Structure 1
Amino acid sequence: MPTDGPDPQTPGCAAEQVDTGRPHPARMYDYYLGGTHYCAIDAETAEEVLRRAPHVLDSTRGARAWMHRAVRHLAAAYGVRQFLDLGAGLPVAPNLHQVAQEVHPACRVLYVDNDPLVGASASALLGSGPAGQVVYRHGDLRRPATVISEARAAGLFDWGRPIALVLSGVLHFVPDEDDPAGLLRAYCDALPDDSYLALSHGTGDFSPTTADGAAVYAERKVAAPMVLRSHAEVVRLFDGTALLEPGVVRLPEWHPELGSTPHPEETLGYDPDQVHSYGGVARIRPPHTTESGGS
């Protein structure tokens, strides 16, 4: 558990637009990662989650490591140079753009999140090498038409070239009534052909205590509930895409050979056996399918 983090009442939490009376999953995520941008109520709620389900710390850090591997793989093996990160979260180095630009300095990244504190901290996300560009936009991923409109207006992407849509540990905060599969279809339909979807999602398949941790989100009225989904349910989120090998798997099983970390700040440790999340990467409307990932 995090024990040596900052004063949990950070200056950003005093901003007028930040609701400090209600925990937010982005700020709790920051706490799990050893960040500096959470509020007191976020730390308190996160610690209650960890008391009931200690493996959440490993799951969060394992999901972060998976995102780094997925981004490296897309940039290095598939030549992706454009990334749309939904539910970007608070800045904790290395961020997605730093990982992508380690592979190729011309990579461009658009970050989107709906937490005002993420927006207040966005300046830490916007640094880039001279060849690449990084932009932040406030937006709710449940409003795909608005998010895509903002993405086009940002003038960052070449919409004639592939874009990687990244949702790392965020869709388990979208309840069934908001139709997460339908939201994904809307985003995928709006992206260029031969784009990619990279998605990770929490599950209760491996331990009953995962549900105990998720229950805290409802009890403490966290800004978004946590909805754990089974392997079959996560696989269905990829309907209409062409999964890359090895398909939808437990995160530490997704290309572990890519685990070397060229970025010196990527040092968060975790126990792979305690990572209770699935993930996968898929092509969106490929011109021809050369790979297929099993479930």
Structure 2
Amino acid sequence: MPAEIDTSTAHPARRYDYWLGGKDNFKADRESGDAVAAAFPEVRTAAIENRAFMRRVARFLAGEAGIDQFLDIGTGIPTSPNLHEIAQSFNPTARVVYVDNDPIVLAHARARLDSDPNGSTVYLDADIRRPDDILAHPDVRQALDFSRPLALMVVAVLHFVPDADDPYRVVSRLVSELPPGSYVVLSHATSDFMPPSTATEVNDADKATKVTFQFRGHDEFARFFDGLEIMPPGITSVAHWHADDESQPRPTAAETAVYGAVARVP
């Protein structure tokens, strides 16, 4: 195990992998995941539905919207079909930059993220809290053409950025580099649909396992889209975003506790 991988402390990407039924996680990740699940048993449903939301959005952007460039921040441990596989199934020349700050994600990304030879798949080890490091990185600038529309994907990441790190500044800085016609995709955990006691228990479980986490409500989530054109159906549960073709009945907003939305840069 590379020395830079700390297996003694839970990491969001590896915990997410555990909830999705993956095997790329460690004891600390499983203990943290189980602690949250004890407070909110539907958390595995939330993780599964959030992943499905990403895939539906990818099909919409690559298919209907014609987007062929993606900047995916907080990609997590790869699971197939991943973003680049979906995008390149519509356009083999699609280019995807994945960003995460967990060394084990980097290791798996290098091993698994095989691009179509006509396109490009790049992985960057960076932290969303330092957006300028991402935007100015030569690999990002080489892979993506910021003079043409692209999609910024920040899926199930911002609830790990506390107010002290000013997530609104982070998103605003990232969006400021996007040309008109680009898209912004966000999802975020919310306590709007759970009893206050449940939200407290989830927060306590995260603190006990040293995971920084912050729920945000509808209006707080909406602030991330200031100045953008939110696409139909607006801000909704990730389980309900263009989910007519998914198995029915869909999980309720309370069972997922994650908002999702897609917006266009005017």
Q: Do they superpose with TM above 0.5?
A: yes
2:235 paired with 1:248: yes
Q: Contact 1:32–1:46 (CA<8 Å) still a contact in 2?
A: yes
CA distance in 1 between counterparts of 2:117 and 2:130 reads 32
2:182 paired with 1:195: yes
Partner of 1:5 in structure 2? Answer: none
Q: 1:151 and 1:215, CA in 2 relative to 1: closer, same or farther beyond 3 A?
A: farther
2:34 paired with 1:55: no
Equivalent residue for 2:66, pick from 65, 75, 79: 79
- The range that moved more, 248-257 or 230-239, is 248-257
Equivalent residue for 2:209, pick from 200, 204, 220: 220
CA distance in 2 between counterparts of 1:88 and 1:149 reads 19
In structure 1, give the amino acid aligned to 2:128.
L
Q: 1:68 and 1:270, CA in 2 relative to 1: closer, same or farther beyond 3 A?
A: farther
2:106 paired with 1:106: no
In structure 2, give the amino acid aligned to 1:57.
R
CA distance in 1 between counterparts of 2:218 and 2:141 reads 36
Aligned-residue Cα RMSD (Å) equals 1.8
- Aligned identity (percent) is 42
Instruction: Specify the SS of the correspondent of 1:121.
Output: helix
Q: Contact 2:8–2:27 (CA<8 Å) still a contact in 1?
A: no
Partner of 1:206 in structure 2? Answer: 193
Equivalent residue for 2:251, pick from 272, 285, 291: 272
In structure 1, give the amino acid aligned to 2:53.
W
- The range that moved more, 51-60 or 147-156, is 147-156
Equivalent residue for 2:159, pick from 168, 172, 175: 172
In structure 2, give the amino acid aligned to 1:272.
P
Q: 1:17 and 1:152, CA in 2 relative to 1: closer, same or farther beyond 3 A?
A: closer
Which 4+ residue blocks in structure 1 deviate beyond 3 angstroms? 151-154
2:21 paired with 1:24: no
In structure 2, give the amino acid aligned to 1:173.
F
CA distance in 2 between counterparts of 1:87 and 1:77 reads 24
Spell out, residue by residue over 1:171-216, the C-alpha distance to the aligned partner (whole angstroms, 9 max, x if none).
0000011111111110011122221100000000111224422321
Spell out, residue by residue over 1:49-74, the C-alpha distance to the aligned partner (whole angstroms, 9 max, x if none).
11221111111111100011111111
Partner of 1:65 in structure 2? Answer: 52
Which residues of structure 1 form unaligned runs of 5+? 1-13, 261-268, 287-295
- The range that moved more, 269-278 or 122-131, is 269-278
Instruction: Specify the SS of the correspondent of 1:184.
Output: helix
2:219 paired with 1:238: no
CA distance in 2 between counterparts of 1:18 and 1:239 reads 37
CA distance in 2 between counterparts of 1:55 and 1:271 reads 13
Equivalent residue for 1:43, pick from 30, 36, 52: 30
2:263 paired with 1:282: yes
Q: Contact 1:61–1:270 (CA<8 Å) still a contact in 2?
A: no
Partner of 1:9 in structure 2? Answer: none
Q: Contact 1:217–1:226 (CA<8 Å) still a contact in 2?
A: yes
CA distance in 2 between counterparts of 1:125 and 1:179 reads 33
Q: 1:152 and 1:119, CA in 2 relative to 1: closer, same or farther beyond 3 A?
A: closer
So what's the TM-score if we normalise by structure 2? Answer: 0.93
Partner of 2:119 in structure 1? Answer: 132
Q: Contact 1:119–1:136 (CA<8 Å) still a contact in 2?
A: yes
So what's the TM-score if we normalise by structure 1? Answer: 0.84
Instruction: Specify the SS of the correspondent of 2:122.
Output: strand
2:138 paired with 1:155: no
CA distance in 1 between counterparts of 2:209 and 2:139 reads 37
In structure 2, give the amino acid aligned to 1:213.
V
